[in-house]
Structure 1
Amino acid sequence: MDFSDYKGIWVFIEENDKVIAPVSLELLGAGKQLAEKRGCELAGILIGHDVKSLAPKLFEYGADIVYIYDQPIFKDYRTESYMKAVLECSNKYKPEILLYGATSKGKDLASAVATDLPTGLTADTTVLDVEEDTGLLLASRPAFGGNIMATILCKKYRPQMATVRPKVMKALTPNPGAEGIVIEEEIDLREEDIRTKVLEIVRATTKKVRIDEADIIVAGGKGLGSREGFEIIKTFAESIGAAVGASRDVVEAGWVEHHHQVGQTGLTVTPKIYFAIGISGAIQHIVGMQNSGLIIAINKDPDAPIFQSCHYGIVGDAFEIIPLLIQQFQESFSLKEENHDHAGKI
């Protein structure tokens, strides 16, 4: 391929009910760094219906250009219609790099686009970089069960594409009033051309804990020994108002449900405080919580890899340490309540 025709960093902008997905703003932040390194423009590709009003926000978060497909046929996400729009726009303007969020929608769309474009796709990327001179995208992700980090290259084809896990990149601080170029596109696509029809959208609620939104997470690993041993994690979490997290081994052992899993094959979390208890610290788990504000690890093994990734480490038996922590937290909470009541009376 003649790479000279391919220029610019693109981000697929995912929106749901006229709200831009956080991962898209995070990717604009990462894309801006790549674009500055390459000396090129950062663009977003926005597909939907009645979505033109979202463009100013994209400029605030770093985009220089926004390509918009705003047509009734894009009201509901369908793989076929969105894929045709991305293919048409990509073939017309030829981006060097195209990034998607590793969400259900982003992964579905990216894999469909990759089957038609002459290029590959790196999935679930956690680290992005680019060679300044060649423009070669360095997309890194855990491999071999999370035991190593692999950097995937696409040397022979363009555009280079990757899906990126939510919450591993940082969105830029918004710049209110920032402006850019809006390029409105329109595709000749009729409803009868699309094989899939959306008959109804059912919005279900769930009582499952959303650990990816929690400020404090108490996560446990196989070091707790058993399903019964893992109960101390739930007790600790409940005592301090935290969500319960778990390593992959714990989930595979059936101690807790999959929606508690943190890591490459689970959720990526960024709480203010993350307790890693009885967790060895394999790369597969680390990539899912390494951006937490404060990481506190408890493990019997002083050589456990988790101690290389935490801010504070406690070497010892969790079954002896956690009850002491619960007691200290409860005393602290009680003291705060007493002070508050006393201040109110005064």
Structure 2
Amino acid sequence: MAIRIKVDECVGCGACVASCPYGAIVIKDNKASITDACTLCGACESSCAFGALEFEREKAAAMADAGTFSGVWVFIEHRDGRIRNVSLELLGEGRKLADELKEELAAVLIGSEVEGLTKELFASGADTVYLVEHPLLKTYTTDGYTIAFTSLIQKYRPSVVLVGATNDGRDLGPRVAARLQTGLTADCTGLSIDPETRRVAWTRPAFGGNILAPILCPDRNPQLGPVRPKV
């Protein structure tokens, strides 16, 4: 997804500037301009009364509808050279989904000087490990990890993506889903494969936890969800 300013229709009123929670829109020469701080969150989309903001979704839509998606991916969180338990738990759950779907299970490891962790990921059930290393990725940052993770998904096209329902996972998951224009089921407590559709049934609490609701994402890929620890 991208944002384009229709300069002929922009009157420089500043409504979009006020709507942006990241301060990513500025007025230059009486026209709106998007800066590098933009996260494509979409908050400004409905702010322009003159139709000068255009969201270009063609690339994301094409990704959702075309080609074959295959593979179950798990985003790996790590701290101080150790893999977090939630990621190891998700590898176990991902293994079950991958086996039932007859697809590959992959771990996605992003960071700096973390290659040594790959052995544990293979030992925990991963068939493949996607490793992205750069000094700027040593610690989690919203923009850096979102760009790296989204780029991998766009290139390799997994059908299912699992992230932990942690502070980092709850930050990363929605941003990746928004950029890919796919669905996201938050705070899942259970995972299974729907026998009719062969899609993931994401179970999450509803109505204050009084019921557990299975949710399917029938039309978009990849299927993505933050999953609570100890699922």
Residue 286 of structure 1: aligned partner: none
The structure whose residues are more often strand, as a share, is: 2
SS of corresponding position for 1:5: coil
The superposition leaves residues 1-32 of structure 1 with CA deviations (integer Å, 9 ceiling, x where unpaired) of 44651000000000111110100000000000
Counterpart for residue 124 of structure 1: 187
Distance 2:197 2:218 in 1: 10
Structure 1 distance, partners of 2:82, 2:189, is 24
The 5-angstrom pairing of residues 303-318 of structure 1 reads none
State the distance in 1 between where 2:124 and 2:94 align.
Answer: 11
After TM superposition, what 4+ stretches of structure 1 lie above 4 angstroms from structure 2? none
Residue in 1 aligned with 2:90? 27
State the alpha-carbon separation in 2 of the partners of residues 142 and 126 from structure 1. Answer: 7
- Tell me the number of residue pairs that the alignment of Structure 1 and Structure 2 aligns: 168
Match of 1:36 among 92, 96, 99: 99
Indicate the residue corresponding to 2:200 in structure 1: 137
Note if 1:157 corresponds to 2:220: yes
Partners of 2:229 and 2:91 in 1: how far apart?
Answer: 12
* Deviations 1:246-298 (CA, angstroms, capped at 9, x unpaired): xxxxxxxxxxxxxxxxxxxxxxxxxxxxxxxxxxxxxxxxxxxxxxxxxxxxx
Shift of 1:56: 0.5
In the alignment, structure 1 residue 54 sits paired with structure 2 residue 120:
no
In the alignment, the residues of structure 1 paired with residue 192 and residue 145 of structure 2 have an alpha-carbon distance, to the nearest angstrom, of 27
Aligned pairs (5 A) from 1:62-211: 62-131=125-194, 134-168=197-231
Give the structure-2-normalised TM-score: 0.70
Q: State the alpha-carbon separation in 2 of the partners of residues 65 and 134 from structure 1.
A: 26
Shift in Å, 1:135 = 3.4
Equivalent position of 2:76 in the other structure: 13
Identity score, percent? 48
Taking CA–CA contacts closer than 8 Å with sequence separation of 6 or more, which of the two structures ends up with the larger relative contact order? 2
Q: Which residue of 2 aligns with 1:323?
A: none
Q: Matched residues in 1 for 2:130 and 2:198: separation?
A: 22
Pairwise CA distance, 1:148? 1.0
Gaps spanning 5+ residues in structure 1: where?
A: 169-346
Rounded Cα–Cα distance in structure 2 between residues aligned with 1:133 and 1:52? 39
**Secondary structure of 1:125's aligned partner:** coil
Q: Deviations over 1:33-92 (max 9, x none)?
A: 000001110001000000001001001000000001011110121000000001100000
Per-residue CA deviation, residues 214-238 of structure 1 (Å, 9 max, x unaligned), is xxxxxxxxxxxxxxxxxxxxxxxxx
Distance 2:180 2:201 in 1: 19
User: What stretches of structure 2 of length at least 5 have no aligned partner?
Assistant: 1-63
1:132, 1:72 → 2: CA distance?
44
What secondary structure sits across from 1:90 in the alignment?
helix
Q: How far apart, CA to CA, are the structure 2 residues paired with 1:32 and 1:76?
A: 27
**How do 1:298-337 and structure 2 match up within 5 A?**
none
Alpha-carbon deviations, 1:97-128, whole Å to 9, x = none?
A: 00001110111111111121110111110010
Measured in 2, the distance between the counterparts of 1:58 and 1:103 equals 19
Q: Answer yes or no: is the 8 Å Cα contact 1:3–1:158 preserved in 2.
A: no
Structure richer in helix, relative to its length? 1
What amino acid sits opposite 1:66 in the alignment?
V
C-alpha separation in 1, matches of 2:207 and 2:84: 30
Point out the structure with max Rg over C-alpha: 1
> Conserved in 2, the CA contact under 8 Å of 1:11 and 1:98?
yes
Q: From the superposition, tell whether residues 2 and 112 of structure 1 become closer, same or farther in structure 2 (CA, over 3 Å).
A: closer
Report if aligned partners of 1:125, 1:165 keep a CA contact under 8 Å in 2: yes
SS of the residue corresponding to residue 99 of structure 2 reads helix
Partner of 2:15: none
Partner of 1:238: none
